Amino acid sequence: ASNRTLAGAGLHNDDHIDLEDHEKDDRSVMKVPEGIEASIGNTPLFKIKSLSEETGCNILAKAEFLNGVGGSPKDRVALSIINLAEEQGLLKPHSGDTIYEGTVGSTGISLATVCRARGYLAYICMPSDQATEKSDLLLKLGAVVERVPPAPIIDPMHFVNRARSLAAEHTADSKRPGRGYFADQFENEANWQAHYNGTGPEIYQQCSGKMDAFVAGAGTGGTITGVARYLKPRLPHVKIVLADPQGSGLYNRIKYGVMFDTKEREGTRRRSQVDTIVEGIGINRVTANFEAGRELIDDAIKVEDEQALAMARWLVEKDGIFVGSSSAVNCIAAVKTAKKVGPGNTVVTILCDSGTRHISKFWTKAGNVGDKKDSRLEDIVSS
């Protein structure tokens, strides 16, 4: 090693290093994991200092944007879905098999990347109103991207229906190589199981079981239900709180047992599009992944777009944390939950993805940090 590297490690050329016998043994059995999949999971949990100081609670964030494949909790889900399908013999690497998925982006990015690592092709259907960072990235990964107009779930061109039918067409066409596999993140229970097996136990260990509430938004519902199913039997006092953006029906489902109240019903037709700038969470139907843990959810908090925008700026300004819209929603709900459970308690939430995925939409609306005079936390959460 050069003198510079040695000095960087606090060593000098004439330092003599003797390995103890047990260290030699450890070295010989240490196995370097194979493949990029090893960078999925084991994300840090850290305290958000500003929010903790302001509320008198410990507000802890699980940094899921640090998953090393696609930069979101969906890395866990993509791996879990593909592993299960391989175990069931539904997918075979390097055989021309193509994974089809309907996604607003994060799951597509994780799937497209794990597909590359495992020898599959990815075909991603996503609504055309989602941030272009995500579709551009998917193209760079070599996925086929079909952007479909935003449509209600009853429409065959809804991104989920479109992916499902393309997968079936592929499988039915004997002239095409391999099979079409529909990943089906909304209904596939390998989704919540990824969080039951990974995110949940990691949180439990990282805070030594000392927590009083868990707060998360729901897109498919996999994160909140998987973590809730792990935590509730071990820590029954922990409050599971849904963070729901404006326009989503899940808040009413939890609070009142119905998807829509009369004000939110437009005529007699259910509104299927969630009217919010927030991406990745909020939905107007109950999916299998949400249903898997719905009864474990104790409370729901509605978050307005303006609150999320202000929280995103706050997190950069006070803590140097640059996140996307769903993380900002989670943090608003975490602060409100902290006020409910009271000082001295611990609230855990999720930072889902980085703000870099949201420059063209959410962060354009949020503006540059420092350009605006921002309000006090009190005003942000009560606005």
DSSP structural state of residue 216: E
The verdict on 41 binding ligand PMP (CB under 6 A) reads no
Residue with the CB atom nearest ligand PMP in the bound state? 280
With respect to ligand PMP, which residue has the nearer C-beta, 98 or 199?
Answer: 199
- Binding segment for ligand PMP (CB under 6 A), chosen from 6-14, 136-144, 237-245, 273-281, is 273-281
Question: Least distance to ligand PMP from the beta carbon of 199, Å?
Answer: 9
- Binding segment for ligand PMP (CB under 6 A), chosen from 47-55, 221-229, 298-306, 370-378, is 221-229
The verdict on 221 binding ligand PMP (CB under 6 A) reads yes
Among 203, 211, 297, 352, binds ligand PMP (CB under 6 A): 352
The verdict on 220 binding ligand PMP (CB under 6 A) reads yes
Contact 241, 301 (CB under 8 A): yes
Q: Which residue has the tokens 């070599």?
A: 142
Contact 230, 200 (CB under 8 A): yes
* Alpha carbons 266 and 261: distance in angstroms, whole number: 10
* Alpha carbons 262 and 304: distance in angstroms, whole number: 19
Q: Phi first, then psi: what are they for 344, rounded to 5°?
A: 90, -15
Per-residue burial over 40-74, b if 16 or more Cβ lie within 10 Å, else e, is bbebeeeebebbbebbebbbbbbbbbbbebbbbbb
Contact 137, 72 (CB under 8 A): no
* Alpha carbons 120 and 276: distance in angstroms, whole number: 34
| 366 residue type, one letter | A
Among 41, 200, 222, 245, binds ligand PMP (CB under 6 A): 222
DSSP structural state of residue 355: G
Consecutive H or E run containing 380: helix 377-382
Question: Least distance to ligand PMP from the beta carbon of 71, Å?
Answer: 10
For the window 56-95, what string marks contact with ligand PMP as x by the rule CB under 6 A?
----------------x-----------------------
Catalytic residue among 24, 31, 47, 74: 74
Among 52, 324, 347, 363, binds ligand PMP (CB under 6 A): 324
- Binding segment for ligand PMP (CB under 6 A), chosen from 28-36, 37-45, 274-282, 300-308, is 274-282
Q: Is 239 a catalytic residue?
A: no
The footprint of ligand PMP (CB under 6 A) covers 72, 104, 106, 217-223, 279-281, 324, 326, 352-353
Known catalytic residues are: 74
